[in-house]
Amino acid sequence: MSKINLRSFKPAIVVLMLGSLLACSRTDQGSQEGHQSNGQVGTQQAPKVSYYAAARFAEQTSFGVTPELITEIQSLGFEAWIDKQLAMPITSTTMPRELLSYSPAAGDAPLWLFRNDEFWDTALAAPDQLRQRVTWAVFQYIPVSAGQANGSLEYYNMLRRNVFGNYAKLLRDVTLNPHMGFYLNNELNRPTSPQCLGCTPNENYARELMQLFTVGVVQLNSDGSVIRDAQGKAKETYTQKDVEELARALTGWRAPSNNTGLPDYSWPHYGSPMVPESASFLHDSGAKTVMGTAIPAGLNASDELDAVVALLMKHQNVAPFVSLRLIQHLVGSNPSPQYLARVSAVFRNNGKGVTGDMAAVVKAVLLDPEARAGDVLGVNDKQMGYLREPVLWMSAVHRGLGCKHMTHGTWQGNQYVDQPANQNTISPPSIFSYYQATDRAPGSNLLAPEQKLLNTMEFTSRLGNLDWRFFNADNPARADNLTRTGCNWNELTTAFAKSPDEFLDLLSKRWFRGAMPATLRNNLLNLIKGERWQNPESGTVTTLQFALTSPSFGVIK
C-alpha cells in the first residue's frame, strides 16, 4: 500500500473542520444515493422511533451509539427509555483494598491506572448510560483536578449518586466531599478567633460555589438573558462582601477520620463526607448576610450549610444557570431563550412543587420540542447541536467498534490508559474545567464552548491514533489492545474485503445514523479505490479515521 502522508493533510483538515464545525455542519440532501434506507429499520412491527431519530437520541443520552442501544430506543420510545434508565442501579466502582495498601516506595501508579480504566469501562460498557453521560456533564462544570486517585474516584462516584436526585443534595455532598475540600481548600477554612491564632476564612470554595456551581456572576432571567440596570450595565449577582460572608458560613469542616486500617497517604477514607470540627470556635457562628439573605447567629456548621444551600436554591439564577449547562452538554450549545425558559421552569417546579429535581430536569432537556426537532433527516437548523468534544468523540468511536475497555499505551515500561489529546477525563486543567459555558466561536456570537479543544493536535490525533493503537507494529501495546479491549474490528475488515459499498454502508449505519452525506461517501470511496491496500485492516482503519475526522461526525446535531 502506498503510504498516506498525514502531514500534508493537516492544514486543509483543520481549516475544513473548524469552518464546518463552527457552522454546526449541515446534512447533504440526497445523501442516501440508493445505498441506505430512509433511516427506518424494517421489522415485523413498525418501531416507535425511526433509526435516524434513535441514533440521534442515543448520541445525546449516552457515550456513543451501539446497535443494541438503537434497537432498545426504537422499541421503547424516548420517554420510556429515559424512565428505564432512571430506575437502573448505579454503575460505580470503589478502589480495591489491595491497591490502597501500596507502599510509598512502590508509588501509586497502579491506582491511577485503575482510576482511568474505571472511567472508560463505565463510559463504554455500563448499562446506565444516561446516568454516566449526565455525570460527565455535571463533572465538567463542577470539577476537581489533581489530588489522589482514590479521592478522584470517590468524588466521581458521589456525582453519580446525585445526578438524578435533588440539586440541593448534590450541592451539599459536593461541599462535604473531601476531595473537593482538598481541591478548593474548604477543609482549611477557619474563622479568625483568639483560640485560632493566624486563622482566617478561606474564600476559594465559597467564590466558586457561587460563580461556577450555582448562580454565576450576572443576574439572569429565566430564559438566560442578562438583567441590566437603567444604564444597560449587567447587574452583578454577588459582591466581594458576599464571598466573605459565605466563606464565614462554610468554616469548620475537616476530612473524615481514617478508620480503615490502611495508610493515610492512600486517602482510603475519602469515600466518606467531611465532618464538623469538634471545637466550636473553628466554625464562625455569627450572623451573616449573603446576597441579601440573612443567616442567623448561633447555627452549627451542619445547620449553616443547610441554610447556605437553601439560599442558593432560592436564587433566581440557579434554574437557568444549571439548565443551560445541561442543555449544552446533552443537546445544543445555543438553546433558544424559550427552550431554556421551559427547562428552567421544570427546575423550579417539577410539577409536584419540588425545586431542583434533576431527573425531571434531564427529562425536560431531552424531550423538549427543540431537542427533538432534528429527529427528521434534513430539518436541522444550522445553529442546532454542539461540537463533539474529544472525550465524546473517543467514546463514540470505541462504542461503535463494540469496545468494552479503553486501549492502553506503554511509556518507559509503565502502562497508561489512552486519553484524548486535549481532554484528560479525570484532570481538567483548572476549576474552570476544559472550557466555560459562555465561550463563543471565534468571530461569532454563537456559543461553542468545545471549540477551544479542537485544534491541530486534536485533529492529527483523530487521523492517526486508531492505527497506532491497534495495528502499528511499532506500538508495544498493540497486541494487548486487540485482545483486551473487546473491539470488533473483524466486522469492519470483513465488510471492507467484500466491497467498498458494503463497508461504507456499515460505517454510515454505525456512526452516521444511516445517513452519511453524499460528499463524504464519495470522498471515502475515492480514497478506497485510489489506494493499493496491503490488507483489509490497513484500508479499514485508514478510511475509518478519515470518516470520523470529518465535520459530519464532528458535530452532534
Pair 187, 260 in one domain: yes
Mean pLDDT of the 284-291 span: 98
Pair 22, 114 in one domain: no
Pair 397, 350 in one domain: no
Higher-pLDDT residue of 455 and 28 is 455
**What is the distance between the alpha carbons of residues 552 and 555, in angstroms, rounded to a whole number?**
6
pTM of the entire predicted model: 0.92
CA angle 404/407/412 to nearest 5° reads: 150
Model confidence at 12: pLDDT above 70: no
Mean pLDDT of the 406-435 span: 93
pLDDT for 44 equals 57
Model confidence at 197: pLDDT above 90: no
Pair 199, 280 in one domain: yes
Model confidence at 35: pLDDT above 60: no
Pair 353, 397 in one domain: no
Contact status, residue 41 vs residue 74, Cβ threshold 8 Å: yes
Mean pLDDT of the 245-266 span: 96
Mean pLDDT of the 283-287 span: 97
Banded model confidence at residue 27, pLDDT cuts 50, 70, 90? very low
Cα Rg for the chain, rounded, in angstroms? 25
Q: Structural domain tally of the chain?
A: 2
Whether 238 is in a domain gets the answer yes
Mean pLDDT of the 423-436 span: 93
CA angle 474/475/479 to nearest 5° reads: 115
pLDDT for 526 equals 96
Pair 361, 470 in one domain: no
Whether 49 is in a domain gets the answer no
Model confidence at 412: pLDDT above 90: no
Banded model confidence at residue 303, pLDDT cuts 50, 70, 90? very high
Whether 353 is in a domain gets the answer yes
Domain that holds residue 231: 97-375
Pair 285, 366 in one domain: yes
Mean pLDDT of the 245-261 span: 97
Banded model confidence at residue 29, pLDDT cuts 50, 70, 90? very low
Residue 521 C-alpha from the chain's centroid: 30
Total H helices, total E strands in the chain: 25, 8
pLDDT for 409 equals 95
Please report, as a single letter, which amino acid is at residue 61: T
Model confidence at 9: pLDDT above 60: no
Instruction: Tell me the β-bridge partners of 448.
Output: none
Pair 332, 397 in one domain: no
**What is the distance between the alpha carbons of residues 380 and 382, in angstroms, rounded to a whole number?**
6
Whether 60 is in a domain gets the answer no
pLDDT for 431 equals 94
pLDDT for 532 equals 87
Whether 144 is in a domain gets the answer yes
**What is the distance between the alpha carbons of residues 244 and 19, in angstroms, rounded to a whole number?**
45
Pair 102, 195 in one domain: yes
**What is the distance between the alpha carbons of residues 120 and 519, in angstroms, rounded to a whole number?**
33
Whether 433 is in a domain gets the answer no
**Torsion angle of the four alpha carbons 210, 213, 214, 220, in this order, in degrees rounded to the nearest 10:** 90
Model confidence at 359: pLDDT above 60: yes
Model confidence at 79: pLDDT above 90: yes
How confident is the prediction for the chain on average, in pLDDT?
A: 91
pLDDT for 32 equals 40
Q: Residue 163 gets which letter from DSSP? A: T
Pair 396, 348 in one domain: no
Pair 272, 138 in one domain: yes
DSSP 277-333: -SSGGGS--S-EEETTEEE-TT--HHHHHHHHHHHHHHSTTHHHHHHHHHHHHHT-S
Tens of pLDDT along 101-126?
999 999 999 999 999 999 999 999 99
Pair 354, 311 in one domain: yes
Residue with cell 420510556: 80
Whether 193 is in a domain gets the answer yes
Model confidence at 24: pLDDT above 80: no
Whether 413 is in a domain gets the answer no
Banded model confidence at residue 425, pLDDT cuts 50, 70, 90? very high
Q: In 358-498, which ranges are continuous DSSP H helix? A: 358-367, 369-372, 390-400, 456-470, 478-484, 489-498
pLDDT for 306 equals 98
